[in-house]
């Protein structure tokens, strides 16, 4: 824990200098960087920049192979699943890329009551979800921030059949230190907030008015969060607003600031691309569009740069793109998402209320079945957060590879719960085949733990973990 900070210095000149130096990287230099990345210790800014211009198919293949190696060494084949829960699309900001922007008359505004939130949560639980990301526009009803705290209590207090939400992350407006303390006391998991763009000029251009137009207030939110005792935070970029190379290297400066000041960086990085949004011409015409190839490349680079940080992929992307990036570094995905308040009860995304258009409209069960068929272990595990394995404590286990002793058995346990309580017959068949295969390939000690947890679940126990 440290003191307050006025701003996080983003040295734009240094970023451009690194990009320029990296543009001259030859094959031997790139291969040296990839060899270092396989040591699972991360990369310097200069080394990250050296990978950015890679375009030769052979070298791209080597980059992607390295990312696959790092992903599987640290995370194995686990794939964590969650669902966003939009509780309000009220917003006081004018962000030109967002359907929720204050002056957008094409959006129907809605704030869910606590009863409506409980109903949304029940629907998610009945689908099999255990992890939720609570999302709200940056304006609240008359009861203000208390509305968020009440909503968190509602989520945790909702039970349906054998299920409940075991971990609630939040993506809401930046808070004061005192408000962050209240958020921590509400037992949240991760506090998530995206800078959207680290380029000052672009930031000012697309954030026209409202509190979000204050670059410094937003970028220092993670400092206030950590000063309040929340050591599990998630950051991200909205790719398409500015040059993706600049954004990645500037974000690395932000990460370095957090590591130097608090001893730990973000637990997750989200990688959304700008998608069409009702009432936003900018969203339909990204100023700096990121191609599918560039997108796969930047995901792979991030996996090599920060090997122990989770990478989150939302349903903005198509099923094909999501599947391709699982092997390149993505470790968490949303599934069966709705981005409009009340969307789960309504059964669909309503364009007039939604934040952006989705690329993946599949239900949770279908996403799980495909992942399992491809050899990925769908996981709803929340053990680390409830056992205090966050921040530096998590890294102390992750870096020597010891976290696998917990993560692999816990992932299988939660997957088995899903199959028994919610899975379709087709998904159960695919899932049971995968569980048998994974357990059979485990080292003896880990296999014994996994078999013990699986036996408990099959005998009717729930929420068992190590």
User: Given pLDDT bands bounded at 50, 70 and 90, which one contains residue 1?
Assistant: low
What pLDDT shows up at residue 250?
98
User: Given pLDDT bands bounded at 50, 70 and 90, which one contains residue 140?
Assistant: confident
Q: What percent of the chain clears pLDDT 90, i.e. is strictly above it? A: 86
Q: Indicate whether 153 pLDDT > 70.
A: yes
398 vs 119: CA distance, rounded Å: 37
What pLDDT shows up at residue 349?
61
Q: Indicate whether 70 pLDDT > 80.
A: yes
379 vs 403: CA distance, rounded Å: 15
Task: Look at residues 82, 191, 187 and name the one whose alpha carbon lies nearest to residue 131.
Answer: 82
340 vs 213: CA distance, rounded Å: 24
* pTM beyond cutoff 0.85: yes
Q: Indicate whether 33 pLDDT > 80.
A: yes
User: Given pLDDT bands bounded at 50, 70 and 90, which one contains residue 272?
Assistant: very high
Q: Calculate mean pLDDT across residues 150-169.
A: 97
What pLDDT shows up at residue 387?
73
Q: Which of 333-337, 351-355, 362-366 has the lowest mean pLDDT?
A: 351-355
Q: Are 284 and 97 in contact (CB under 8 A)?
A: no
Task: Look at residues 251, 110, 120 and name the one whose alpha carbon lies nearest to residue 193.
Answer: 251
Q: What's the mean pLDDT when you consider all of the chain?
A: 93
Eight-class DSSP state of 442: S
Q: What are phi and psi of 235, to 5 degrees?
A: -120, 175
User: Given pLDDT bands bounded at 50, 70 and 90, which one contains residue 64?
Assistant: very high
Name residues whose C-beta falls within 8 Å of residue 85's C-beta, 6 or more positions apart in sequence. 117, 120, 121, 124, 132, 133, 134, 135, 155, 344
Name residues whose C-beta falls within 8 Å of residue 377's C-beta, 6 or more positions apart in sequence. 76, 77, 78, 79, 371, 408, 411, 412, 415, 434, 438
pLDDT tens column, 283-313: 999 999 999 999 999 999 999 999 999 999 9
Of residues 388 and 294, more confidence is placed in 294
User: Given pLDDT bands bounded at 50, 70 and 90, which one contains residue 79?
Assistant: very high
What pLDDT shows up at residue 439?
96
What pLDDT shows up at residue 59?
96
What pLDDT shows up at residue 17?
97
Q: Indicate whether 427 pLDDT > 80.
A: yes
User: Given pLDDT bands bounded at 50, 70 and 90, which one contains residue 356?
Assistant: confident
Tally of residues, the chain: 466
User: Given pLDDT bands bounded at 50, 70 and 90, which one contains residue 88?
Assistant: very high
Q: What is the CATH number of domain 72-379?
A: 3.20.20.70
User: Given pLDDT bands bounded at 50, 70 and 90, which one contains residue 85?
Assistant: very high
User: Given pLDDT bands bounded at 50, 70 and 90, which one contains residue 105?
Assistant: very high
Measured between alpha carbons, how far is residue 95 from residues 270, 280, 302, 309, 378 in Å? 19, 9, 26, 28, 35
Q: How many CA atoms lie within 13 A of 303 on its CB side?
A: 32
Of residues 389 and 97, more confidence is placed in 97
Task: Look at residues 138, 201, 176 and name the one whose alpha carbon lies nearest to residue 10.
Answer: 201
Q: Which of 127-131, 315-319, 386-390, 444-448 has the lowest mean pLDDT?
A: 386-390
């Amino acid at each position: 824990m440290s003191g307050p900070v006025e701003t996080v210095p983003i040295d734009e000149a240094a970023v451009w200098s690194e990009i320029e130096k990296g543009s001259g990287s030859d094959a031997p230099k790139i291969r040296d960087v990839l060899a270092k990345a396989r040591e699972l210790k991360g990369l310097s800014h200069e080394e990250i920049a050296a990978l950015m211009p890679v375009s030769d198919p052979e070298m791209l293949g080597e980059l992607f192979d390295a990312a696959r190696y790092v992903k599987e060494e640290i995370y194995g084949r686990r794939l964590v699943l969650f669902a966003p829960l939009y509780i309000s699309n009220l917003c006081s900001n004018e962000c030109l890329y967002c359907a929720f922007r204050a002056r957008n008359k094409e959006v129907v505004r809605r704030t869910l009551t606590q009863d409506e939130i409980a109903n949304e949560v029940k629907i998610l639980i009945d689908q099999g979800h255990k992890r939720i990301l609570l999302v709200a526009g940056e304006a609240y009803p008359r009861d203000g921030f208390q509305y968020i705290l009440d909503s968190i209590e509602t989520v945790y207090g909702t039970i349906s059949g054998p299920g409940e939400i075991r971990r609630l992350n939040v993506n809401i407006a930046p808070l004061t230190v005192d408000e962050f303390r209240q958020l921590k006391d509400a037992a949240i998991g991760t506090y998530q907030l995206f800078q959207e763009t680290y380029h000052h000029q672009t930031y000012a251009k697309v954030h026209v008015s409202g509190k979000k137009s204050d670059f410094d207030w937003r970028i220092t939110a993670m400092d206030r969060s950590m000063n309040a005792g929340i050591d599990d935070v998630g950051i991200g970029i909205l790719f398409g607003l500015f040059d993706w190379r600049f954004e990645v290297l500037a974000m690395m400066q932000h990460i370095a600031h957090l590591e130097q000041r608090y001893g730990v960086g973000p637990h997750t990085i989200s990688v959304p691309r700008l998608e069409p949004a009702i009432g936003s011409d900018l969203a339909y015409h990204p100023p700096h569009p990121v191609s599918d190839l560039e997108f796969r490349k930047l995901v792979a680079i991030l996996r090599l740069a920060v090997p122990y940080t989770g990478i989150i992929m939302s349903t903005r992307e198509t099923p094909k793109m999501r599947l391709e990036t699982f092997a390149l570094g993505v470790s968490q995905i949303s599934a069966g998402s709705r981005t409009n308040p009340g969307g789960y009860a309504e059964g669909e995304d309503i364009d007039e209320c939604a934040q952006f258009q989705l690329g993946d409209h599949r239900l949770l069960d279908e996403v799980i079945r495909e992942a399992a068929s491809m050899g990925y272990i769908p996981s709803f595990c929340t053990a680390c957060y409830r056992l205090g394995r966050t921040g530096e404590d998590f890294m102390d286990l992750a870096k020597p590879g010891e976290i696998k002793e917990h993560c692999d058995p816990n992932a299988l346990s939660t997957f088995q719960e899903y199959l028994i309580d919610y899975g379709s017959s087709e998904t159960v068949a695919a899932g049971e085949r995968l569980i048998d295969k994974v357990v059979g390939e485990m080292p003896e000690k880990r296999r014994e733990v996994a078999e013990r947890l699986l036996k408990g679940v099959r005998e009717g126990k729930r929420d068992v973990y190590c």
